[in-house]
Structure 1
Amino acid sequence: MRNECKIIAMSDIAAEEVRWLWYPYIPYGKVTIIQGDPGEGKTSFVLAMIALLTRGEPLPEEAAGGEPVNVIYQSAEDGLADTIKPRLERSGADCSKVLVIDESQKDLTLCDARLEQAILETGARLIVLDPMQAYLGDQVDMHRANEIRPMFKRLCRMAERTGCAVILIGHMNKAQGLKASYRGLGSIDFRAAARSVLLVGRMKDSPDIRVVAHDKSSLAPEGRSIAFALDAENGFQWKGFCDTTVNELLAGEGTVQTKTMRMEEALKTMLTKPVSVEEVFRRAKELGISERTVNIAKKNLGVGSVKSGNQWYWTAPGARM
């Protein structure tokens, strides 16, 4: 008996636009990989992003937010009670919208039917698996393309059916001098299947500043790199766009400078005494810095506001009029 061969004409396919959770970094209905060396801030970056999404606030450098969304977050390395939830709370996430598939009876894998079931039941717009290597299953060799391809194909089809954005967080291997394409753990088919790949790292001369660089973008022009700060004293802080390249990030060389960081330095210089809000924004205009960036810098530094008469002033943290 002959197998039926069904032919589809492209003229019969309705064209659709790509929809974005975060343009041009994370598309809906597709797989995005976020990778970097251990300890570089991949999980912190994703949790900070989840906090904004669950509150309906704009993602970095976006003009407006949207409706708060449900997010499914699976972690195989960190405890939910003693690590993930405290970090979400510190980020300001709405934890009622951060959901977890119970793996106490059965471990989850990338092609597990529970992924789609959970997305459909909760209406989640994003699902995160951290790290992706932990969700391959015991019988899958991550270095064998013939084992990785069918698993990723099923995952990609699930993402497309549900319209949910899928983020896989991955570690990188220790090989030096290789292109980012070959630094991910396991088969290069991981990268090939993903429509977007983001690289997280830091510079040698600024260890508290981390950078997210767009290493692969199949559906839109690559986005600019985005910096964030991560330290014990101040926690996580968004720092805005920078010009760091993927190659610079891999080498850990170069200097990170953003408009947010420039505004922070300007505020530190100005706030040796209380300064009127008008003067602050006048200086920001001279520097070509937007009102939103000024307010981010103010929040990052913990700058105070005080009213005297009919005039508002900004003060250094802890200072008084």
Structure 2
Amino acid sequence: MNLTEPLNVIYQSAEDGLADTVKPRLEQAGADCEKISVIDEKIKSLSMIDERLEEAVIKTGAKLLILDPIQAYLGGGMDMNRANEARDMTKKLAALAEKYQCAIVLVGHMNKAAYRGMGSIDFFAVARSVLLVGRVEGEENIRAVVQIKNNLAAFGHPKAFELSENGFEWLGDYEITADEVLGGIAPKANKMEQAKRLLRELAETNNAMQSNEIFSLADEQGISKRTLENAKKELGVRAKRINNTWYWELDKIRQ
């Protein structure tokens, strides 16, 4: 299967109206709404153990199922703070995901402690990956995404996105911690901007520099190699190999 081809999605939202909020946002983001399905809850509310979930996955061939938020899909009489009840729900969801190779995203509202707000720790434990999304202090329209659990691979670098009149826009790597997001603490100077500033300053006195020297200067300022490489790409800096040494050409840097 070509991983770049559009796939079918089931998106259940109990908080936002489909017609006045969800669909307009999807259309603004360029989504193909023909590939997005919703299970009808007019007669009966949906729950995580509802047979209609599996029926919908089979019918649509969905490869992504989103339940937003967790609390709305517990079902009558279920207590998410009781581990045994939460475990039953998560086991069934995990089995559904594995059986149909369908990724399941549960959206929860969390407090400062990682588990609080999600009820039983079982919701956190069953997930293979947990992403924390929150506001960036001092940046009204910017949100940060920080991975706080990953059982399948190395932790991903924090990312950021911006919400504006033009919709959603990824900003790329962002230097922020989970504690800063949860605590409403303004992050330290954005490392990406710091990396760009370093390259611009070096360009004022150098047409080209050895890449190892630039990496060393960046490391002294706490800028990672990955962030510096991203800044290099955004500023249009080219690398050139002379003999066995790599140089970065700084004379045509984008301002």
Give the TM-score of the pair, scaled to structure 2: 0.73
Which structure is richer in relative contact order (CA contacts within 8 A, separation 6 or more)?
1
Letter in 2 for 1:77: E
Matched residue, 2:248: none
Q: Distance in 1 between matches of 2:56 and 2:17?
A: 21
| Alignment check: 8 A CA contact 1:242 1:256 kept | no
3-state SS of the aligned residue for 1:106?
coil
1:191 is aligned to 2:124: yes
Matched residue, 1:246: 178
273, 289, 300: which is aligned to 2:233? Answer: 289
149, 158, 166: which is aligned to 1:234? Answer: 166
199, 203, 226: which is aligned to 2:136? Answer: 203
Q: Distance in 2 between matches of 1:103 and 1:109?
A: 10
Matched residue, 1:87: 25
1:146 is aligned to 2:84: yes
Counterparts of 1:137-176 in structure 2 under 5 Å? 137-173=75-111, 176=112
Unaligned 5+ segments in structure 2 are 200-228, 237-255
3-state SS of the aligned residue for 2:81?
coil
Q: Distance in 2 between matches of 1:205 and 1:85?
A: 30
102, 108, 115: which is aligned to 2:40? Answer: 102
Q: Distance in 2 between matches of 1:76 and 1:234?
A: 25
Matched residue, 1:213: 146
Q: CA deviation at 1:160?
A: 0.7
- Identity rate of aligned residues, in percent? 53
Q: Distance in 2 between matches of 1:287 and 1:119?
A: 41
Matched residue, 1:11: none
Q: Distance in 1 between matches of 2:118 and 2:149?
A: 16
CA RMSD of aligned residues (A): 2.7
Q: Please list the CA deviations of residues 63-104 of structure 1 after superposition, one character each: whole Å capped at 9, or x if unmatched.
A: xx6111111100111111111111111111111111111111
| Alignment check: 8 A CA contact 2:175 2:188 kept | no
Unaligned 5+ segments in structure 1 are 1-55, 57-64, 267-284, 293-321
48, 62, 67: which is aligned to 1:129? Answer: 67
Letter in 2 for 1:83: T
| Alignment check: 8 A CA contact 1:239 1:258 kept | no
Between the two proteins, the alignment pairs up a number of residues equal to 204
| Alignment check: 8 A CA contact 2:173 2:192 kept | yes
Q: CA deviation at 1:142?
A: 1.2
Q: CA deviation at 1:134?
A: 0.4
Q: Please list the CA deviations of residues 220-255 of structure 1 after superposition, one character each: whole Å capped at 9, or x if unmatched.
A: 111111100113x33321100122121222122214
Matched residue, 1:313: none
Q: Distance in 2 between matches of 1:202 and 1:96?
A: 31
Q: CA deviation at 1:105?
A: 1.7
Q: Distance in 1 between matches of 2:161 and 2:20?
A: 24
Q: CA deviation at 1:260?
A: 8.8
C-alpha distance 108-287 of structure 1, shift in aligned 2 (>3 A): closer
Matched residue, 1:16: none
Q: Distance in 1 between matches of 2:193 and 2:45?
A: 42
